[in-house]
Amino acid sequence: MSDSPEKHPFLLTRADMFITWAQKNSLWPFGSGLACCAIEMIATAAARFDIARFGMELFRASPRQADLFIVAGTVTNKMAPVIRRLWDQMPDPKWALAMGNCAIGGGPFPTYSVLQGVDKIIPVDVYVAGCPPTPQGLIHGLMTLQEKISRSHPTKEILNPDARTSR
């Protein structure tokens, strides 16, 4: 390069920082509205709360196009194998958020038909309590997840594939 550096601005950063910056600012949620929490999740996506501000407005109808699983609502034992399958269908890297008390631990349904917490079948990154959580609550959970992603080291997983399964 014969030109001076001033004409070709550049940025130095760590690969981890750059990758996580891209990941956390374009999370594509998989909209799995299982119960009433779905209404609050939809409200979060709509104009008033507008998670497009976080780059998350692209709710996908297919798990294969999503990297964030928002488990919004009650998971019944009958639905549990389906949830597990949908999670397995999502490509890495992926994150899961348990929205509402039902997804966290069965909520008000300690019964024969309800799974007592979705973390029994998939690894959950962030829990958002509430019955249902407000859109503000969900946004707080999503921002917490963004922080968690920005603290992660994706290059470790790239260099060491075994680290991926440990998460």
Partner 1 sequence: MPELAADRPDFRQALEALTGRFPGAVLSSGVEKGESAVRLRKDDLEAVLRFLKDELGFNVLEDIIVLDNVRTAAEGGKRFSVLYQLYRHPGASRIRLVVDVGDNEGLASAVPVYRSADWAEREAFDMFGVRFEGHPGLRRIYLPDDFEGYPLRKDFPLEGRDGGV
Cβ at position 34, least distance to partner 1 in Å: 15
Residue 69 is inside which H or E element, if any? Answer: strand 68-72
**85 in contact with partner 1 (CB under 8 A):** no
Question: Can you tell me the distance from the alpha carbon of 61 to that of 63, in angstroms, rounded to the nearest whole number?
Answer: 7
* Per-residue interface string for the shown chain with partner 1, residues 3-42, x marking contact by CB under 8 A: ----------------------------------------
CA 74 to mean position of chain CA atoms: 17
96 close to 121: Cβ distance less than 8 angstroms: no
CA distance 23 to 41: 21
42 vs 80, beta carbon nearer partner 1 = 80
* DSSP conformation class of 135: H
Residues 103-132, one symbol each (x = binds partner 1 by CB under 8 A, - = not), give: ---x---xxxxxxxx--xx-----------
Query: Residue 57 and residue 43: Cα distance in Å, rounded?
Result: 12
Which range touches partner 1 (CB under 8 A), out of 31-39, 49-57, 73-81, 142-150? 73-81
What are the residues binding partner 1 (CB under 8 A)? 77-78, 80, 106, 110-117, 120-121
